[in-house]
Structure 1
Amino acid sequence: MHSLHFTGESSSNGMVERDFTVGDVPGVLWSPASGAADRAPLVLMGHGGGNHKKHPAMAGRARLLVNGCGFHVAVVDAPGHGDRPRTAHDEEEIAELFRARAAGEPEGPIVVRYNAHLAELAVPEWRATLDALQRLPEIGADGPVGYWGINMGTAIGIPFVAADTRITAAVFGQHWPDVLAEQAARITIPIEFDLQWDDEHIPREAGLALFDAFASKEKTLHANSGKHKELPRFEADSGARFFARHLGRGVAASA
């Protein structure tokens, strides 16, 4: 059993930001500045490939959830990302991705393979992190928990959510179904799914196949025109409203 150790604290934008470690995995926990110790739902967020726990997308979504809903939000660095060292395997896969990109070859097979490897490492880490977070009095073991992850956050999040019944609602999107469809079929919680209709990397048929694979009775598809990196910012507002509705903590405000 790994304990959570806080390693730093600061306040800004109405949030308390606390850095922590669980074992050798670094993370950040954002909480409302007014009442950081109050019991509230928790949303776990998985960052995208090549990013890190405090990437602006993570901090922006956290502000919506913390200031708009009064939630706690936690993010950890995925293996080989952020403050975690890369292995020789990481370097080989990243070099192969850049080679394919420069040659104009499909990136999907490499990304799918590499993300599946990262998920094998990350899922046990996420479960241990959730164990540790739920021992905090302001979160507790009986409160609702959500998960929000796009791209690589989906590649790690789907097997994590499929394996852990504590997650009660999730936002996913923008990934291939290859190794995820079977695990998605085990997920029955409410789902919101983001898809870019003109994605140059993930064919829309592939995105639709992954959405279709979820066994959830309540699942909503948000398909927007635009390329892979053009997911509209208003989808973050929608995700916050989704969690406000399903985790039972008021209505999120736009930010």
Structure 2
Amino acid sequence: MNSLRFTAESSSDGIRERDFTVGDVPGVLWSPTSAGPAPLVLMGHGGGTAKRHRAMVGRARLLVTRCGFHAAVLDAPGHGDRPRSARDEQDVAELRRAQAAGAPEAPVVVPYNVRLAEQAVPEYRATLDALQELPEVGTGGPVGYAGFGLGMAIGMPLVAAEPRITAAVFGMTWPDALFEAAKRITVPVEFAMHWDSGRIPREASLALFDAFASAEKSLHANAGEHVAWQLAEADSATRFFARHLSPARP
């Protein structure tokens, strides 16, 4: 993987926003406009969205303005500014057929997410290498990860494999292929689930939470529609990272 290259930059409201590429993988880095070395939170977006989805932008702004942290996200394979392969097109078409027929989505989504994660995990590790070469991030600073949906499917094997990540927030994806990764995750975890989801069985999410090997883990079970609680979860995740990544943590 090639070194990091910035391709665009803007600043507003105390936030510096920089587009970058690492090799041919595009991402965005948000930082305080006047910052020395500070913790970094890597983020993963949901399936069918991209690096600038409002959930990613909103979480990044909270991490920068409330905590003084850096936040970065990559376009997942076949998402955003990255072209879809023929295999991607086939999987997406199969998912749309399942949705139209009211059939279970997991048989399509789970292997699709596994395939994308196998590609994305090395990309995130290479990006972390490159970002830590920046003086405002540094090699010794704390690193967190936050991902929902596809971002969780990528993030769990990433956190299980990457010792530099010391705290993680996950939620809202099919857990079928993630239990082995959960058993290898020992860092503090905050896990959010949709209690009334008609797509992801409640019992499966509870079993995955139980499988995390973390000594410190918390479960957030939210009722109602997803859009009704995502802002509260973003706020909670910000406080979680402030506790676990801040240099002055009690």
State TM-score, norm by structure 2: 0.97
User: How far apart are the structure 1 equivalents of 2:106 and 2:227?
Assistant: 15
Which residue of structure 1 lines up, in the alignment, with residue 63 of structure 2? 65
Q: Give, as a single letter, the amino acid of the residue that structure 2 aligns with 1:26.
A: P
SS in 2 for 1:136: coil
Alignment of 1:51-200 (within 5 A): 51-200=49-198
Are residue 27 (structure 1) and residue 27 (structure 2) matched? Answer: yes
| TM-superposition CA deviations, 1:74-121 (whole Å, max 9, x none) | 011000000000000000000000000000001112111100000000
Residue 178 of structure 1, CA deviation: 1.2
SS in 2 for 1:233: helix
User: How far apart are the structure 2 equivalents of 1:138 and 1:129?
Assistant: 15
Q: Give, as a single letter, the amino acid of the residue that structure 2 aligns with 1:19.
A: D
User: How far apart are the structure 1 equivalents of 2:82 and 2:94?
Assistant: 20
User: How far apart are the structure 1 equivalents of 2:64 and 2:109?
Assistant: 32
In 2, are the aligned partners of 1:13 and 1:63 still within 8 Å (CA)?
A: no
User: How far apart are the structure 1 equivalents of 2:173 and 2:52?
Assistant: 22
Deviates more, 1:84-93 or 1:4-13: 4-13
Which residue of structure 1 lines up, in the alignment, with residue 12 of structure 2? 12
**Ranges in structure 1 where 5+ consecutive residues have no aligned partner:** none
User: How far apart are the structure 2 equivalents of 1:243 and 1:206?
Assistant: 26
Which residue of structure 1 lines up, in the alignment, with residue 211 of structure 2? 213
Change (3 A) 1:199 1:229: farther
State TM-score, norm by structure 1: 0.95
SS in 1 for 2:79: coil
Change (3 A) 1:9 1:135: same
**Ranges in structure 2 where 5+ consecutive residues have no aligned partner:** none
In 2, are the aligned partners of 1:192 and 1:220 still within 8 Å (CA)?
A: yes
In 2, are the aligned partners of 1:198 and 1:228 still within 8 Å (CA)?
A: no
Change (3 A) 1:26 1:137: same
User: How far apart are the structure 2 equivalents of 1:241 and 1:249?
Assistant: 14
SS in 2 for 1:198: coil
Q: How many residues align structurally?
A: 249
RMSD: 1.3
Residue 13 of structure 1, CA deviation: 3.2
Residue 2 of structure 1, CA deviation: 2.1
SS in 2 for 1:232: helix
SS in 1 for 2:64: helix
User: How far apart are the structure 1 equivalents of 2:236 and 2:200?
Assistant: 22
Identity within the alignment, %: 69
